[in-house]
Structure 1
Amino acid sequence: MQPVGLIAGSGSFPLRFAESARAAGHRVIACAHVGETERAIVGFADEVTWVHVGQFGKMVKAFRAAGVAEAAMAGGITKVRVFGGLRPDLLALKYAAKVTSWNDDGLLRFVAGMFESEGIRIIDSTRFCPDIFARKGPYTRRRPDEAQRADVALGLQVARALGALDVGQMVCVKGGSVVAVEAVEGTDRCLRRAGELAGKGVVVVKTAKPQQDMRFDVPCIGPGTIDVAREIGAVVIAVEAGRTLLLDEEETVRRAEKAGIALVGVA
């Protein structure tokens, strides 16, 4: 079987992708980002090349040397690192004039197009692990009450509107008021800001964008999300079923149960 490339960002999703691709019989050739990708990737991939954000030429060279024709983008890159820590190489500079937007969708589509222009097709990041998507229904014994369900409904409405504008994928609500929305700061900082502003009792809603390209930037939660939610006293986490990734499901649910957080997948 052909080797598959992995453009690895942060979190555990790149590890899960590599594990699943290898279980399907592929060699995994990973390009991991310094300061973003977990060091554990070296135990999951067959080959790992460490790069800084913007070193596209180095990644293309590593993929070509290994015979990679298809690659997936799994895990995020902190947006502030893109603004302040970009190290473009010659290949990146060659394509830089074609960047028309610095929003998430625009940048990711530019990156995907650049790789494909170099003969490396970007594939769906969930190709080898489709079971990783959240399912509809409760995951925990604790369920949202009526008021919290109303907050979930509001959060879904706002999150989809913000997603359509490519702002973010998560909204925090309490008592019918939106208290925090995710932008470039990411999930954890958004959660902590919600806790600082509204205290305990926050309802967290995470959805895909209406125009979500499932090849990259798929929204996800995992054990770390639960830890921060517990820290701020959140009471509900609702994720869009079928379009949000639930990483390390067993451990995520265990931590949610222990924290008394209602975890639910919503349509």
Structure 2
Amino acid sequence: MLALIAGRGALPVELNRALSAGGRAPLVATLEGVGSDLPTAATWRSFRIEHLGSVLQDLRAAGVTEICFAGAIARPALDPAQIDAATAPLVERILKALSSGDDAALRAVMGLFEEAGMAVRAAHEICPELVAPAGFAAGPQPLPEAVEPMIGQGAAILQALSPLDVGQSVVIGAAGCLGIETAQGTDALLGFVATSEPRFRRGPAGVLVKGPKLGQDLRVDMPAIGPDTLRHAARGGLGAIVVQAGRTLLLDREALLAEAEAQGVTVVARELGL
């Protein structure tokens, strides 16, 4: 049996739909305070990070042998008064994970589930059709020639930042780098760009370049874009989104295609060296 640890966004919804349609409805667990776009009736249980040890025991008792993490999950604060007996032996590792970079934190959490006898399954293993193929394009075509150097600069920045485990996205405009994704996520980056002074966004419309960090474990947190990404990019005055082909998820693809046309933002999947 497979369990889905669901966060916010469209990815858990798409995975739950695909698994249920295939006769493999998962057990769905959510982290308290995070929220989920899945209906409450679809959720097996909601838990606190202070009860993770008990959740691992309950998953094993329910016959879960595979686990998939999907959706955005903000790092919770650990309340020492709430820690239960089953979680107490894990506290040191949980605290270390919560203070690490995204990829390191996720590797640590996956390790806890693996040690409990559960294999970690990637979202793209369950729904390979979500992965952006090389050559995928949506919205206005072709990309303006002036954007090509921006794409190269964005890819080079992401490659250089990979060892620092910072983020998966960067925005490049005619004036140079306009912002780098940090722990707040891609939408926050695009919101920051949208509030930048117009002089920084002069010339050809900028581009969001997105892809995984070099060496990133793609079983969790594979880069993803969806219709909301298109809307935020348009508000930021961007003209294009370029993602790493084969290593980025396209969520709610039909709506994404429609939004690309409506917002006048080109979306392209290509090799970025990420």
State the TM-score, normalized to the length of structure 1: 0.89
SS of the equivalent of 2:196 reads helix
Instruction: Tell me how far apart the structure 2 counterparts of residues 177 and 113 of structure 1 sit (CA, whole Å).
Output: 39
**SS in structure 1 of the partner of residue 44 of structure 2:** strand
Instruction: Choose the corresponding residue for 1:63, options 50, 59, 62.
Output: 59
Shift in Å at residue 97 of structure 1? 2.4
In terms of mean alpha carbon deviation, does 53-62 or 155-164 score higher? 53-62
Aligned to 2:6: 8
**Change beyond 3 A, Cα 1:54–1:265:** farther
- The amino acid across from 1:155 in the alignment is G
Specify the code of the residue in structure 2 equivalent to 1:86.
L
Structure 1 unaligned spans of 5+: none
User: What CA distance in whole angstroms lies between the structure 2 residues aligned with 1:176 and 1:159?
Assistant: 18
Q: Output the amino acid matched with 1:140.
A: G
Q: Does 1:206 align with 2:210?
A: yes
Q: Which moved more, 1:118-127 or 1:214-223?
A: 118-127
Change in 2 beyond 3 A, CA 1:92/1:172 = farther
CA 1:146–1:248: 2 relative to 1, 3 Å = same
Deviation at 1:250, TM superposition (A): 0.9
Cα distance change of structure 1 residues 31 and 89 upon mapping to structure 2, 3 Å threshold:
farther
- Aligned mates of 2:175, 2:51 — CA distance in 1: 45
**Aligned-pair distance for 1:24?**
2.8
Residue 230 of structure 1 aligns with an amino acid whose one-letter code is A
The yes-or-no answer on 1:86 pairing with 2:65 is: no
Residues 226, 114 of structure 1: alpha-carbon distance in 2 compared, 3 angstrom cutoff: same
Worse overlay, 195-204 or 140-149? 195-204
Aligned alpha-carbon RMSD (Å): 2.0
Q: Quote the residue 2:219 is aligned against.
A: 215
Give the superposition deviation at 1:41: 4.2
| Distance across 1 between alignment mates of 2:87 and 2:105 | 12
Match of 1:147? 146
Q: In structure 1, the residue corresponding to 2:126 is in which secondary structure?
A: coil
Aligned pairs, how many?
Answer: 259
How far the C-alpha of 1:205 sits from its partner, in A, is 0.6
- Cα deviation, residue 177, structure 1: 0.8
Q: Which amino acid aligns with 1:106?
A: A
Query: How far apart are residue 112 of structure 1 and its match?
Result: 0.8
* Alignment counterpart, residue 257 of structure 1, candidates 258, 261, 265: 261
How high is the TM-score relative to the length of structure 2?
Answer: 0.87
Q: Output aligned runs, 1:6-85, within 5 Å.
A: 6-42=4-40, 45=42, 47-78=43-74, 81-82=75-76, 85=77
Residues 131, 196 of structure 1: alpha-carbon distance in 2 compared, 3 angstrom cutoff: same
Does the 8 Å CA contact 1:240/1:266 hold for their aligned counterparts?
yes
Shift of 1:143: 2.7
How far is 1:58 from its partner? 4.2
Residues 226 and 256, structure 2, Cα contact 8 Å, conserved in 1: yes
Instruction: State the one-letter code of the partner of 1:123.
Output: R
Q: CA deviation at 1:39?
A: 4.1
Alpha-carbon distance, 1:212 to partner: 1.7
Q: 1:105–1:253: structure 2 CA closer, same or farther, 3 Å change rule?
A: same
Change (3 A) 1:59 1:164: same
